[in-house]
């Protein structure tokens, strides 16, 4: 009987999630399964990791401009000669430096990339994944087996792991694209707080094994490690596991 009551409440929570929170109402926080949208002119504002509330269009709730953080050097092109006003920054707009309801930071926890955070490179664009500074950390979650990254306009990017071309390939690059990855491209899941990726007919020694392989430009591309965690590490790479972190702000 108790179990039946829980199911009914869970179903009610799921349908509420489609609706809009009232003015001054809760719109997020850990464990919150209710609405996450606010009425027009109201902004879902994080109070702390357990509580976000719809507030009237307050200035403090506007999304900080991405230009407040310097773009990674790899996103800066060389201005063509004779052009004094070339635009060299090609970063997209991010969701800000405060965690949005239902999203998480993802970071590595082993040296030499301890507390480097998952992000796109260039930032907030459909591009390759890297580990980078907490100041430019992306916001993510796993939804229906997809790794989703939140952008500043509320749209999503989807994680996609490259196809293994032959059985000698032991690392697969993670990138982000604008459309959901096909089911044949594998499945993301949380194991505790660790991000895992699995795919039919590739058996991995450790589904939480990732590789960080600096590319020589200062960027640290991230790969799925199809081999064992912690030994037989490919040259130029470091073994990492990556974990969600749900404090309101990312930190080093
Ligand atoms: C791998 O799995 C897919 C279906 O998920 C199947 O179509 C394909 O034939 C399999 N490949 C091998 C080598 O077993
Ligand atoms: C994978 O490796 C991590 C890091 O060493 C470890 O915590 C975890 O238990 C391993 N999982 C399996 C299934 O071996």
Q: Is the CB of 98 inside a 6 Å radius of any atom of ligand 2?
A: no
pLDDT band (50, 70, 90) for residue 91: low
- Of 86, 157, 87, 154, the residue nearest 123 (C-alpha): 157
Q: Is the CB of 200 inside a 6 Å radius of any atom of ligand 1?
A: yes
| Residue whose CA is at the smallest distance from ligand 2 atom 1 | 206
Summary mean pLDDT of the chain: 82
**pLDDT digits over 58-73, tens only?**
533 333 333 333 333 3
pLDDT band (50, 70, 90) for residue 43: confident
Distance from residue 184's CA to the centre of ligand 1 (Å): 9
pLDDT at 85 over 70: no
Q: What is the pLDDT of residue 66?
A: 36
Structure tokens at 151: 């952008």
| Residue whose CA is at the smallest distance from ligand 1 atom 11 | 201
pLDDT at 181 over 70: yes
Which ligand 1 atom is nearest residue 199's CA? 5
pLDDT at 31 over 70: yes
Distance from residue 186's CA to the centre of ligand 1 (Å): 12
Q: Across residues 152-159, what is the average pLDDT?
A: 95
3 compared with 102, residue with greater pLDDT: 102
**pLDDT digits over 198-240, tens only?**
999 899 999 999 999 999 999 999 999 999 999 999 999 999 9
pLDDT at 90 over 90: no
Helix residue ranges, H only, the chain: 2-16
All structural domains of the chain, each given as residue ranges with its CATH number in brackets, are 25-56 (no CATH), 104-245 (2.80.10)
Residue 142 to residues 69, 76, 201: CA-CA distances in angstroms? 26, 30, 22
Q: Is the CB of 80 inside a 6 Å radius of any atom of ligand 1?
A: no
User: Hey, which of 182, 183, 200 would you mutate to test ligand 1's pocket, going by the most ligand atoms within 8 Å of its Cβ?
Assistant: 200
Q: What is the pLDDT of residue 46?
A: 80
Q: What is the pLDDT of residue 18?
A: 53
Q: Which residues pair with 189 in a beta bridge?
A: 196
88 compared with 20, residue with greater pLDDT: 20
Q: Could you give the count of Cα atoms lying within 13 Å of 7 in the half-sphere of its Cβ?
A: 4
Q: Across residues 116-139, what is the average pLDDT?
A: 97
């Amino acid at each position: 009987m108790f179990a039946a009551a829980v199911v009914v409440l869970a179903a009610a929570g799921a349908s509420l999630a489609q609706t809009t929170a009232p003015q001054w109402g809760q719109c997020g926080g850990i464990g919150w399964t209710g609405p996450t949208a606010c009425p027009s002119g109201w902004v879902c504002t994080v109070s702390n990791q357990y509580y976000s509330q719809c507030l009237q269009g307050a200035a403090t709730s506007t999304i900080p401009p991405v230009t407040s953080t310097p773009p990674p050097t790899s996103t800066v092109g060389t201005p063509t000669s004779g052009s004094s006003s070339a635009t060299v920054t090609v970063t997209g707009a991010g969701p800000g430096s405060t965690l949005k309801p239902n999203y998480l930071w993802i970071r590595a926890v082993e040296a030499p990339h301890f507390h480097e955070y998952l992000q796109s490179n260039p930032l907030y664009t459909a591009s390759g994944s890297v580990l980078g500074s907490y100041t430019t950390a992306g916001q993510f979650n796993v939804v229906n087996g997809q790794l989703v990254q939140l952008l500043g306009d509320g749209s999503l990017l989807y994680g996609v792991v490259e196809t293994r071309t032959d059985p000698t390939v032991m690392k697969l690059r993670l990138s982000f694209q604008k459309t959901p990855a096909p089911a044949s491209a594998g499945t993301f899941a949380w194991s505790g707080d660790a991000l895992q990726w699995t795919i039919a007919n590739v058996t991995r020694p450790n589904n939480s094994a990732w590789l960080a392989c600096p590319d020589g430009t200062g960027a640290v591309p991230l790969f799925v490690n199809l081999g064992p965690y912690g030994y037989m590490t490919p040259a130029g790479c470091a073994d990492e596991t990556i974990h969600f972190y749900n404090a309101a702000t990312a930190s080093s």
